[in-house]
Amino acid sequence: MTMTSPTSTADTALRAKVRDFNDDYAGALDDLDFARWVDCFTEQCHYRVVSLENFKEGLPLSVMECHGAGSLRDRIAAIRQTAVFEPRTLRRMVSGVRVDSVEGEQVRAQANFAIFESLSDREPHVFMTGRYLDRLTLHEDRLKLVERVCVFDNHRVRTSLVYPV
Give the rounded percent of residues in the chain with a pLDDT score beyond 90. 73
Please give the residue that has the higher pLDDT: either 63 or 80.
Answer: 63
3-class state of residue 111 by DSSP: strand
Hey, which residues does 89 pair with through a beta bridge?
Answer: 118
Hey, which residues does 144 pair with through a beta bridge?
Answer: 137
pLDDT of residue 140: 76
Q: E strands, 104-139, where? A: 106-119, 125-139
The mean per-residue pLDDT over the stretch 99-113 comes to 96
pTM over 0.75: yes
The mean per-residue pLDDT over the stretch 92-113 comes to 96
pLDDT at 5 over 50: no
Q: Are 72 and 11 in contact (CB under 8 A)?
A: no
Give the rounded percent of residues in the chain with a pLDDT score beyond 70. 93
DSSP state of 116: E
pLDDT at 3 over 60: no
How far CA 26 is from CA of 5, 84, 94, 123, 163, in Å, comes to: 23, 23, 8, 21, 12
pLDDT at 130 over 60: yes
pLDDT at 63 over 70: yes
Least confident interval from 39-43, 116-120, 155-159: 155-159
Domains of the chain: 9-152 (3.10.450.50)
pLDDT band at 9 (very low <50, low <70, confident <90, very high): confident
Least confident interval from 4-8, 10-14, 42-46: 4-8
**Sheet of strand 41-51, all strands in order from the earlier edge strand to the far edge:** 64-67, 41-51, 142-152, 125-139, 106-119, 88-103
